[in-house]
Structure 1
Amino acid sequence: MNRRVKVRARPQPVPGSMNKTEQAYGQHLKRLLMAGEIEHYSFESFKLRLASRTFYTPDFLVIRDGMLELHEVKGFWEDDARVKIKVAAEQHWMFKFIAIKKAGAGWAVEEF
C-alpha cells in the first residue's frame, strides 16, 4: 500500500508565540501606542467560533478611536487563511478586520 504523506513546507505556528513578521508588526503597534495613535493592542487575545470545531484567532486586537480592529499579519496568504478571515468578517461584523502584509519598509493594509 502506497500512502502519500502531506509534507508542510513551513513549520506549524506555535499558539501564543509570534513569528518574525508578527514581532515586527508588534513593534510597529508599540510605536503607534506611544504616539497616541492607538489606545491598546494585544496579541492573540481571543478566538472567534466560525463553525463546529472551526475557530479563527486574530493575530492582534487593536483599539483605535474606541473601535475594535482585528489585525491579521501575513508574509503571504494561503487560501484557507483568506477564507477564514472573510467568513469571520461576515459573521462578526461588529469588528473591523484588517489584513497586514510587509511591504518594503512599511505595511500594506487590506480591509475586509
Structure 2
Amino acid sequence: MMARGLQALGRLKVGAMNQTEAAYARTLELRKAAGEVAWYKFEGLKFRLADNTFYTPDFAVQLADGALEAHEVKGYMMEDANVKIKIAADMYPLRFVAVQVLSKKAGGWKVEEF
C-alpha cells in the first residue's frame, strides 16, 4: 500500500504550472512588457542545499538591470518552503523572493525578499 499521506493532493507534473503560478507568470509578462523584467523561466534554476536536498524555485527572473532573482510563488507559505528559501538565500549570492497571492478582494501579491 502506498503512503498517500506523504503525497501532495492534486500535485501537477514537473514543469506544469498551477493556477497561482500561471497568474504570476502573467504578472511577469506585464513586467517584461513594461521593461522591468528582461527574462524569466518557470523552474529554471535548481539549488543544492545539502546531500540529497534540493530547492527549485518556481521562477528564475532576470531584471532589466541584469540582476538574477529566484521567485517562489505560493497561495499559502508552508514551513518547509519557508525554511528552504531561507537556507538557499544564505548559501547563494542572488535575491530570493517569496510571492504570495493576496485575497481576490485585496488583489495583487505580497512580496517578501530574503
Q: Which runs of 5+ in 2 are unaligned?
A: none
Structure-2-length-normalised TM-score: 0.87
Q: Aligned equivalents of 2:84 and 2:67: distance in 1? A: 22
The aligned counterpart of 2:90 is 90
Q: Aligned equivalents of 2:95 and 2:101: distance in 1? A: 19
- Over the matched positions of the two proteins, sequence identity in percent amounts to 48
Q: 1:35 to 1:86 in 2, by over 3 A?
A: same
Structure with the greater alpha carbon radius of gyration: 1
Q: Aligned equivalents of 1:7 and 1:95: distance in 2? A: 31
Aligned residues: 108
Preserved contact between residue 77 and residue 100 of structure 2 (Cα < 8 Å): no
Q: Which runs of 5+ in 1 are unaligned?
A: none
CA RMSD in angstroms, aligned pairs only: 1.7
User: How big is the shift at 1:11?
Assistant: 2.5
Kindly report structure 1 stretches of 4+ aligned residues shifted beyond 2 Å.
Answer: 4-14
* Match runs of 1:5-44 below 5 Å: 6=5, 10-44=9-43
Q: Which amino acid aligns with 2:81?
A: A
Structure-1-length-normalised TM-score: 0.88
